[in-house]
Amino acid sequence: MQYRTLGRTGIKVSPYALGTLMFATSMGNAPEDSARVLHKALDAGINFLDTADAYGDSEDVVGKALEGRRDDVVLATKFGRPTGEDPNHQGASRRWIVTAVENSLRRLRTDHIDLYQLHRPDPGTDIEETLSALTDLLRSGKVRAIGASGTPVADIVEGQWVASRRGLTGFHTEQPVYSLLNRGIEREILPVTQRFGMGTLVWGPLGQGLLTGRPHDELRRAGLVRHLNDESRLDVVGKLAALAGEAGLPMTHLAMAFTIAHPGVTSALLGARTMAHLDDLLAGLDVTLSDDLLDRIDEVVPPGTDVGTLDQAYLPPALKQPGLRRRPFAERSAA
């Protein structure tokens, strides 16, 4: 395993990280089965684990599974998404951060978190308040590095600028979506994170299941194809599958190897739920794509472009709230 440095933190992490959303018992896994998957990943050299307080009981499952092996891993978790009905049990306010971190530390059975990440941007909280609270956690030793996820490029730049001007610690990492089907971050996000020396942990490398190599009919039966946008994505998936076949690679290996080939990507998240899923992904750890194959992928999905969007992709308020992109009716009609 050739480890990479996580931004400028000095922390060495594996190019593949283990995502643990599927470890939540609500996903159908028994905790002991998830523990076996986790231990096998560690034995294979993967030392980077990512979870979140909003992933059901995933933090509990991970904490129990890591007993006796905590020092073997770089442990990342996230805060910010709703964890209950209380409107203050979410977001990026200092009030919630100081509570959320203690809850995660307890569930993970540890005295520190290696990478603490804001799960999604919180437009209702001043970024200075968020970075001030996170900087205090760094100084206390409860957190060793801080990051964010799904952040628009303008907000990444603002966060770094505010940290510099206010004497705070800026985000060390960013966690965007990236796959053969979703290459939009190549246009601005990755160049900006590289410029600021940030580590990048990408999620969704298998396109929410579309890049697993399963037949199209099976993807439809599994509910992964629900509307016209997905059908158009399947046409592209078919072309990529043909490239994988010509290269003698399983589709999963092509998809994962593609994500870590970009110099701005530190690690890509494996979302294995079962031992069989993990075995398949581990078999591709040493796959390296040739320049010719990468050029042919560029012809199918041009650099910096997205083929559709993922269900969990972050939409900023300017796109979600009509009032932010429409002048008042009276003002429009008066014109």
What amino acid positions are annotated as catalytic residues?
55
Single-letter code of the amino acid located at 106: R
Strand-strand pairing, 12-13 and 16-19: unpaired
d(CA 274, CA 304): 32
Give the Cβ contact number of residue 248 at 10 Å: 7
Q: How many CA atoms lie within 13 A of 122 on its CB side?
A: 26
DSSP state, 21? G
At a CB cut-off of 8 Å and minimum separation 6, what does 101 contact?
A: 79, 113, 116, 137, 142, 143
DSSP 53: T
3-state helix, strand, coil in the chain (%, to 5): 45, 15, 40
Q: What is the dihedral of CA 117, 288, 210, 28, to 10 degrees?
A: -60
